[in-house]
Amino acid sequence: MHDPSPNDKKEIELQLINSNPSDIDIPQEKQFNHASAKPPEPQSRYNKLGIYFTLLSVFSGVVVAVIWKWNPDLPSAEVITLRSIFVCIMSYYLLKKQREKSLQDLFSIQYIIIGIISSLSVVTYYLGLISLSVSEATTIYATLGIFNGIFGLLFLNETYPMIERLLGGACFIGVLLIVRPPFLFGEEKQSNDTEELFIPRYVAALIMTLSTLLWALTQIMIRKMKNGINSYSVIFQSGLTMTLFCICYMIMKGSFQTLTFAGYFTALLIASGSVYATYTIIKALEYEKPSVVGLFGYSEIIFAIIADVLIFHIFPSLLTTLGMTIIIASCLFLLKKAS
């Protein structure tokens, strides 16, 4: 063999410099392709912001309930009507301050539908409450987390893993221990007024279930719009629809009771709390699935019991404490998975 010439050496060196490793080493090609393949996606974690917004919304709802119970002598229908008018004024002011939407955009079909469904949920809730005790109503409404998970799976194709179903069931058991509905525990006899109920009890239970379904559907629609939704537009439409419902009721009732300063101030506080509660639940649904939002919504009853102890000096029983423990443990477990 003869030694290569200097020109041949330069050619060989240039080929080696410009060549890819895959050109001379086939095993490395397999290694490269393996490395470039997408790694398996990590298990999705829960969004902390969605959980925190849910807790803020729940807490705001309890504050509204405390304000409502603070002066039970106020005329309910008139206060609710004025509260709805204040909600419209506040949300429209905040909307114009953002300069994001015009008045015409406020009346888009999506916002109108959400406003109607959410208002119907409120109306059916109070209608069912006429013939149900608070404990019975709370127990029925506690199925919201379960309905959220089912609707999210059916209409949004969002996952509803077994752990969320189990924790939702555990929270529901906790709610049962806390409210101890008479139709299950039989602790207290219903008063004789039950014979004069406006509607039969079983019908009221169905109406309360309908209210729960409507509110779950409202959350699903908000979740579907997600980042394309304007929170204040939803709040405005809900307040406007509720105002129209109240006005129709007043006309049918044929009378309107004049409110004092306390009535106006109470309506203003309730409206402020309602706007904040609705805004935060909408933000929660932007970040997290309805099933998770519904699960953390069970914490509302814990905040309510704390309010009873600190403000109304009503202390929980042993079963109530056990139920609270179950709910807190379930929520903390899910919160830990979010970290």
Mean pLDDT across the chain, nearest whole number? 79
What are 50-62's pLDDT values in tens digits? 999 999 998 998 8
> On the CB side of 28, how many CA atoms lie within 13 Å of its CA?
6
Asked if the model's pLDDT at residue 88 lies above 90, the reply is yes
What are 204-241's pLDDT values in tens digits? 888 888 998 999 999 999 888 876 778 888 899 989 99
pLDDT for the residue numbered 187? 54
- 138 compared with 42, residue with greater pLDDT: 138
pLDDT for the residue numbered 171? 86
For the full predicted model, state whether its pTM sits above 0.75.
no
CB 57 within 8 A of CB 288: no
Domain ranges in the chain are: 48-338
- 339 compared with 298, residue with greater pLDDT: 298
pLDDT for the residue numbered 192? 44
Per-residue pLDDT band at 102 (split at 50, 70, 90): low
Which residues, other chains included, contact 51 with Cβ-Cβ below 8 Å and sequence gap of 6+? 284, 288, 292, 296, 334, 335, 338
The Cα 226–Cα 287 span in angstroms is: 8
Which of 46-50, 100-104, 213-217, 293-297 has the highest average model confidence (pLDDT)? Answer: 213-217
Q: How many residues does the chain have?
A: 339
pLDDT for the residue numbered 195? 42
Amino acid occupying residue 192: N
- For the chain, give the percent of residues with pLDDT over 90: 18
The Cα 131–Cα 113 span in angstroms is: 28
Asked if the model's pLDDT at residue 1 lies above 90, the reply is no
DSSP structural state of residue 190: P
The Cα 114–Cα 240 span in angstroms is: 11
- For the chain, give the percent of residues with pLDDT over 70: 78
pLDDT for the residue numbered 100? 56
Amino acid occupying residue 20: N
Average of pLDDT values for 90-99?
Answer: 83
Per-residue pLDDT band at 184 (split at 50, 70, 90): confident
The Cα 334–Cα 329 span in angstroms is: 9
Which residues, other chains included, contact 163 with Cβ-Cβ below 8 Å and sequence gap of 6+? none
Which residues, other chains included, contact 29 with Cβ-Cβ below 8 Å and sequence gap of 6+? 21, 22
The Cα 215–Cα 278 span in angstroms is: 12
Q: Locate 42 and state its tokens.
A: 């990590």
Asked if the model's pLDDT at residue 275 lies above 80, the reply is yes
Asked if the model's pLDDT at residue 37 lies above 90, the reply is no
